[in-house]
Chain A
Amino acid sequence: MQHAFKLGEAEHNLALSRAREAYCLHVGDRRVPIDLKTSPDGRTWLTLGTRHVEVVIATRGDEVFVHLDGEAHALRYWHPLERLAAQAGGGANDLIRAPMPGSIVSVNVKAGDTVAKGQTLLVMESMKMETTLVAPRDGAVAAVQFEKGQTFERDAILLKLEAAAGEGA
């Protein structure tokens, strides 16, 4: 069964299977024997092929946080259904979410506008800094959820996109 994780903006497809010893990770055309074990002293060790490395892992919902080789990384498990929806032309990409809590400085588009990838959709302010949110792809603005001056929490849906008129969905 195919699964996927998001790491930053990138999506990584992979599969996991049982192996005689532990598990096997299938990624691209590679198969790597893997295992994750906790030693009696409470430390967690990851096996990747012939390599054994200590990791610290924390999870919350679909999010997996991994401290590896001195750095912290955040991954998000992407449910098969969610991916299917995204591939069908709707889904996560159509929802412009707030990357952090803040307030709206300006809204540069309105519902019905056609937008090009990279075009400024709105400007938000968080902790005295302005951030510009741009269209992740070509499309049309389906709805603008917030007005200038309004505040929002992280991950709030600020704006919705849809396929532009005449564009095959």
Chain B
Amino acid sequence: MKTATSAASGWPFSTVLVANRGEIAVRVLHTVQKLGLKGAVVFHAADRNAPAVRMADHAIEITGATPVAAYLDSAQILAAAKSCGAGAIHPGYGFLSENTGFARAVESAGLIFIGPKPEQIELMGDKVRARNFVEKGGFPVAPSAIEDDDPKTFVERSRNVGTPLLIKPSAGGGGKGMRIVRDLSVLEAEIERARSEGQRYFGDGRLYCERYIENPRHIEVQVLGDSHGNVVHVFERECSVQRRFQKIVEETPSPALTPQLRAQICETAAGIARSAGYRGAGTVEFIFGQGGEFYFLEMNTRLQVEHPVTEEITGKDLVLEQLRIAAGEPLGYAQGDVSSQGHAIEFRIYAEDPGRGYTPTTGPILALRAPQGDGIRWDSGVVQGGEVTAAFDPMIAKLIVRGTDRNDAIARAEKALAETVLLGCKTNTAFLRRLVVHPAFVAGDVHTGFLDANPQIAADPPMADETLHALLAAASLSTRPMRDAADCVPDLHAAIGEWRN
């Protein structure tokens, strides 16, 4: 990495405002400050004592009907940027990161939006439009039939998609009203049933059909594009370990890809980004079938939660790349210059109880000890003395491990998860430890429905007597009334008790 001040000298901004919170605000500020730039952050009162607020050169309070609403308030964020003299805004992920209106407002205010052009966010933000754009470019999309294209031929076109197929409500989401068809003789009956469900759930009976991929994997590719037309990919990430469509573990390289498939999927992603003239860091997501077929799913026009695994195997600081691109610099390297080494896995540390259906938990962080050691990275937005509340997303930290190969990374991960101490609020670390040694995970044989199909991995295992006794011993000796009661029995009696043994 280039040294700070010289790298950023001559850039059109000297202060960067981070319009986000938690671990990603810390992550972005870290690179900004390392470059010798000033880092500013907005914060809601609920985050007053958060690490990002403490480390920022300027921290500007924003308000809202709810804490989340504050971070979605463009006007307040732009005013904050003005007040601290920020020349650029980094949106992080979530919140306003993929909001076309915000990106435009930032540019209209004469500031630099650290991300793609607003029209690129707009293009990729609409699933159907993005899919059509990608298909027109000659890239693979799942075979499908959209009723709106021509309602009269919808059934016939659905038939041509082939089985198994999935009927989805056009207005839908969250899996509601979806039906899998494996036998075309029931297609019409299932279409009618899906229509009435769509009507009931969303007040809209329009449908579309697409090829259903059995036990699919989620593989995505990191891309970078500059404002001079250069685009490269920075390899793939596999994010198939999910619960209820939310990622828990991400790794790179994907254990599912042969070198040929890896090159193919990465080149496809770079091609899609190139065809859009993409600027900034982005991620092209694919659905990957057990037979090695893959189809475009969507493109995320921002930095991803799981970006660190890419950084760990390539040595690239993706936030630095985003800043350089925003400053107008060319990438300065070609595809052949991007290489990877070793294996990296990220674990999302969630405040939740996997044994109870992954329900969120809240509580004070009474003790926090991050794991340490070679190949261990801890990206966190919480500190000891802080509190996990229901105001925000339950992801409180990310553990990233790097090893020489996948088995080495898994071994380091198991140790690091065991050494992660967080007391006061239940987290998923014990579950992650069980997961990382599960034969299916070790074999790299998982799909996006794996955890939902194997709920026993999330269940708390029965406790050994010795563990129970150790816990009761530790708790007894830490509970004042118990110690006091024991201590007021005279030593003589205790001594007699011993003799009787």
Contacts and interface: CB of A to CB of B under 8 A. Distances in A.
Interface of A: 1, 3, 5, 7-8, 12, 14, 16-20, 23-25, 27, 30, 32, 34-36, 46, 48, 51, 53, 55-60, 62, 64-75, 77, 79, 99-102, 126-127, 129, 131, 154
B482 A16 contact: yes
Interface in B450-500: 460, 466-479, 481-483, 485-487, 489, 491, 493-495, 497-498
Contact of B423 (A1, A14, A53, A56): A56
Given A66-B471, A69-B467, A100-B359, 18 more contacts: A7-B468, A12-B468, A16-B485, A25-B473, A51-B470, A57-B474, A62-B479, A64-B478, A66-B474, A67-B423, A70-B417, A72-B430, A73-B471, A77-B481, A99-B359, A100-B362, A129-B357, A129-B359
Contacts of B240: none
Contact of A67 (B421, B479, B482, B498): B421
B131 interface: no
Nearest to A72: B423
Given A36-B478, A101-B390, A19 B494 contact: yes
Residue picked from B426, B429, B479, most chain A C-beta under 10 Å: B479
A6 B479 CA distance: 13
Mostly, the B contact residues are: helix
A52 B232 CA distance: 54
B359 A60 contact: no
A65 to B, nearest CB: 4
Interface residues of B, number: 53
A56 B369 contact: yes
Interface string B340-381: 000000000000000011011110101101000000000000
In the complex, the 4 A-B pairs of residues with the closest C-beta atoms, listed nearest first: A70-B418, A58-B366, A18-B494, A65-B423
Contact of A77 (B361, B433, B475): B475
A167 B494 CA distance: 45
Contact of B472 (A27, A55, A59, A69): A27
Interface of B: 244, 356-357, 359-362, 364, 366-367, 369, 390, 394, 417-419, 421-424, 426-427, 429-430, 433, 460, 466-479, 481-483, 485-487, 489, 491, 493-495, 497-498
A32 B367 contact: no
A58 B424 contact: yes
Nearest to A75: B475
A150 to B, nearest CB: 15
Given A56-B367, A65-B423, A5 B486 contact: no
A85 B182 CA distance: 58
A99 B422 CA distance: 20
B347 to A, nearest CB: 14
Nearest to A101: B390
Contacts of A71: 418, 429-430, 433
Given A66-B475, A77-B482, A48 B360 contact: no
25 contacts: A5-B476, A7-B471, A14-B472, A16-B476, A16-B482, A17-B497, A18-B487, A19-B498, A20-B494, A23-B477, A25-B472, A25-B473, A30-B469, A34-B477, A46-B470, A56-B421, A59-B366, A66-B475, A67-B367, A67-B423, A75-B475, A100-B361, A127-B360, A129-B357, A129-B359
